[in-house]
Structure 1
Amino acid sequence: MIPYSDFLFFLITAIALLPTIILGFLGKSSRKYNLFITVVMLALIFGLDMGNYTINWKATISILLFTLFQVLLIKGYHSYRKNKNHTAVFVIGVLLAILPLVLVKVLPFFNLHIFGFLGISYITFRAVQMIMETRDGMMKKDIPITELVYFLLFFPTVSSGPIDRWKRFDRDFKKVPTKEEYRELVYKGINKIFLGFLYKFILAFLLYNKILVFLPDRTYGVLDSFGGHLAYMYVYSLYLFFDFAGYSCFAIGVSYLMGIRTPENFNLPFISRNIKEFWERWHMSLSFWFRDYVYMRFVFWMMKNRWIKNRYTVSYIGYFLLFLLMGAWHGLELHYIVYGLYQALLIICFDVFERWNKKKKFWKNNKWTHAISVFITFNFVCFGFYIFSGALF
């Protein structure tokens, strides 16, 4: 069963969370029930094949073994970190944590589909994050296995995020909201869910089924013209936003109903004034994760070892690494790789321009330059999504 894909999933979720909502309105803890219902929902999401109403044993066994593997890594490194702190052990732990995800991305190129399941990327990101934060000394206390698994497999966000942080998640998990606080959470959660319906099932549906599916039809020569390519670029960009933002609204809304304030994933990204601001507004939980756990650590490591003394050169290499990995994470096809390199090039060019502009004062900040900046950024972003779609190749 694919989360948030049809009315049946919402109906089951609503029925399953009814006791949670009642307990919340009474000001009582629903922690134990939420743990139980997460197991039930995970069994439906990963274990049930809705096509023929049979048990999906491959996905079920994959997620059980994968979760066990990640829990053992996290708990094992946490125990090791109490007394020792060798860099080699940390690196091995991180590499082992991402190994299953790498295999899932690489093996299909050799026509091998040994294992894999929906959401393996986002569970991997959470596991790697916990190992890294243990290394940094941010997670000193032992985490009960039930709470660890609950965080890794939190069902509202298990398939496609947003990616939460352990300390923030744990704070919400352990706090029992007052009646007034929970009423506000329910209000916000329901609003998020209805916004998700507007985004995903109305706007994204119309953009895809009434416009987008007809644009690539070369029978009528639509994509053989410049105007056809341009239309496809803009419509696909809007569709991508409404579809993914709608899913994120569902995940955040359901999380609120369970007392977890899952962070936002989108913040009006198409009104960004530059590409850096865009990545602070688009798929924020993922971009912040890559920024904190890939880019910042790479830059710190390079500067610490002084392999390259120029900090701008180090930063630009870091951007290429960051966006190349983000592109490859979507897939190893050419258009994803080129998309990642394109985004890195945009970031670097903007950084060069920004530093130059501070000295020359060429581009001054006013309402006109603001509007022009938004227009230029929007078009560069849309061309990036055009590359991402694969239509360019």
Structure 2
Amino acid sequence: MIDQIPSLIPYANPIYFAYVLIALIPLIAYMLWKEKRLPWYQSIVTLVFLYISFGGSSWKQGVALILYVVWQTVLVALYQKYRQKHNQSGVFYASIILAILPLFLTKLFPVFDFHISFIGFLGISYLTFKSVQVIIEFRDGVLKTYKIWDYIRFLLFFPTISSGPIDRFRRFQKELHNAPLRSDYADLLKLGVHRIFIGFLYKFIIGYYLGTLALPHLEKAALDGGLLSWQMLLYMYGYSLFLFFDFAGYSLFAVGVSNLMGYKTPMNFNKPFASWNIKEFWNRWHISLSTWFRDYVYMRLMFLLVKKKLFKSRVVASNIGYFGLFLLMGFWHGFTWFYILYGVFHATAICVNDWWLRLKKKHKNWPSNKWTHALAVVVTFHVVCASFLIFSGILDKLFFN
């Protein structure tokens, strides 16, 4: 009987926003009146929306979410207690592996056509990034103590639970215990409403047109035309724009609803197609994810390579670091060849970009003006679109189906 009760994927249906508005009205009114939060009411709202998204027909995902939160909470608590007295690397790495294990299994099992209902759920990647972040910050000494309930609230913050943005625990914890002033909150409310309406434009109008109406026809034409056809080029542009408007729209919803609740959740996109090189693109695209990988994977990998002196050249070490980073990002998307190729493509693009920047430093007389800048933006846009063509999986359909 419970399987027949429909669940709502966050932000996928306009009805979801009606529920959000109704639920947040008391919270908004109280914060404007008292300049204080209502922790107990926010907890109730969180439970309600978790049930809306992970209950009913999605009850197996709900069970997986509960088991996952218990697993991560116990793991972080044990490591934090251990770290107060000890600092052995083996325990740290074991904790990281155990934190990643549920996500790893959800990515690995489908490769072998093996499915376990009580492991995967919508948003497991982003909760894993949060958990790993907290363990690393305990290891670094940035975090020394914490409240378990603050950590659980951090994991289960419902506006961002399914697809981010990936917040930082210290920033979130500070806002959790400090409500904004009335004037600041009024500005945050306006900003939140504005972002939600822009999100509607992106996801439900532009994204719907591109994804539902245009892309099926563009894909069919591209498969009929072949890899080097103009139809494939149109599909590449269409898919790239759809990916941006759909995901940026979702992110605007998540940030906007967070703003209504009095939280300054970080933005995830900043005009990425205006980037003038591939590094700048990753500073503007899925910002919370790219900065997470930069801070917790790439910088630590580089530190290890330099410390161990595995490579004499820092350039070689940097390039190895890029390939390690983007291969990991490729595997994170899925154990599929085109996701791995997507990672290799971006690593190669960044290495070429670094080589070009070093070459420009040696030739300071080369032109640098608004025209060269515009050319760089156009080239970067097409490099990114080519990577999204790989990411879309159409090449798999073209060559192997």
Q: Deviations over 1:108-146 (max 9, x none)?
A: 1111111310000000000000000000001112x2222
Judged with a 3 Å threshold, the aligned counterparts in structure 2 of structure 1 residues 377 and 224 are, in CA distance, closer, same or farther, namely closer
| Match in the other structure for 1:87 | 89
Correspondent of 2:50 among 39, 42, 48: 42
| Contact 1:24–1:179, Cα closer than 8 Å, also in 2 | yes
Structure-to-structure mapping, 1:344-363, within 5 angstroms: 344-361=347-364, 363=366
In the aligned structure 1, how far is the partner of 2:288 from the partner of 2:365?
34
Matched, 1:289 2:281: no
Judged with a 3 Å threshold, the aligned counterparts in structure 2 of structure 1 residues 12 and 364 are, in CA distance, closer, same or farther, namely same
TM-score scaled by structure 1?
0.95
Correspondent of 1:198 among 198, 201, 208: 201
Judged with a 3 Å threshold, the aligned counterparts in structure 2 of structure 1 residues 106 and 224 are, in CA distance, closer, same or farther, namely closer
| Contact 1:4–1:10, Cα closer than 8 Å, also in 2 | yes
Partner SS for 1:217: helix
Q: Which amino acid aligns with 2:214?
A: I
Partner SS for 1:187: helix
| Contact 1:98–1:128, Cα closer than 8 Å, also in 2 | yes
Judged with a 3 Å threshold, the aligned counterparts in structure 2 of structure 1 residues 212 and 356 are, in CA distance, closer, same or farther, namely same
Q: Which amino acid aligns with 1:65?
A: L
| Contact 1:216–1:222, Cα closer than 8 Å, also in 2 | no
In the aligned structure 2, how far is the partner of 1:170 from the partner of 1:146?
10
Partner SS for 2:69: helix
| Structure 1 position 223, deviation (Å) | 4.9
Correspondent of 2:38 among 24, 30, 38: 30
In the aligned structure 1, how far is the partner of 2:111 from the partner of 2:222?
31
Moved more, 171-180 or 72-81: 171-180
Partner SS for 2:394: coil
| Match in the other structure for 1:70 | 72
Q: Which amino acid aligns with 1:45?
A: S
| Structure 1 position 218, deviation (Å) | 5.0
Correspondent of 2:391 among 364, 388, 391: 388
| Match in the other structure for 1:104 | 106
| Match in the other structure for 1:52 | none
In the aligned structure 2, how far is the partner of 1:216 from the partner of 1:307?
45
Correspondent of 1:170 among 150, 173, 184: 173
Matched, 1:4 2:11: yes
In the aligned structure 2, how far is the partner of 1:386 from the partner of 1:271?
19
TM-score scaled by structure 2?
0.94
| Structure 1 position 391, deviation (Å) | 1.5
Q: Deviations over 1:338-384 (max 9, x none)?
A: 00000000000000111111012264321111100001100111011
| Match in the other structure for 1:122 | 126
> Deviation above 3 Å: which 4+ runs of structure 1?
218-225
Q: Which amino acid aligns with 2:10?
A: P
Q: Which amino acid aligns with 2:109?
A: L
Q: Deviations over 1:140-175 (max 9, x none)?
A: 12x222211110111000000000001111111111
| Contact 1:363–1:369, Cα closer than 8 Å, also in 2 | no
Partner SS for 2:132: helix
In the alignment of these two chains, the number of paired residues is 386
| Contact 2:222–2:232, Cα closer than 8 Å, also in 1 | no
| Contact 2:221–2:231, Cα closer than 8 Å, also in 1 | no
In the aligned structure 1, how far is the partner of 2:294 from the partner of 2:263?
24
| Structure 1 position 42, deviation (Å) | 1.0
| Structure 1 position 312, deviation (Å) | 1.2
| Match in the other structure for 1:53 | none
Structure-to-structure mapping, 1:218-297, within 5 angstroms: 221-223=224-226, 226-297=229-300
Moved more, 3-12 or 120-129: 3-12
Sequence identity (%): 49
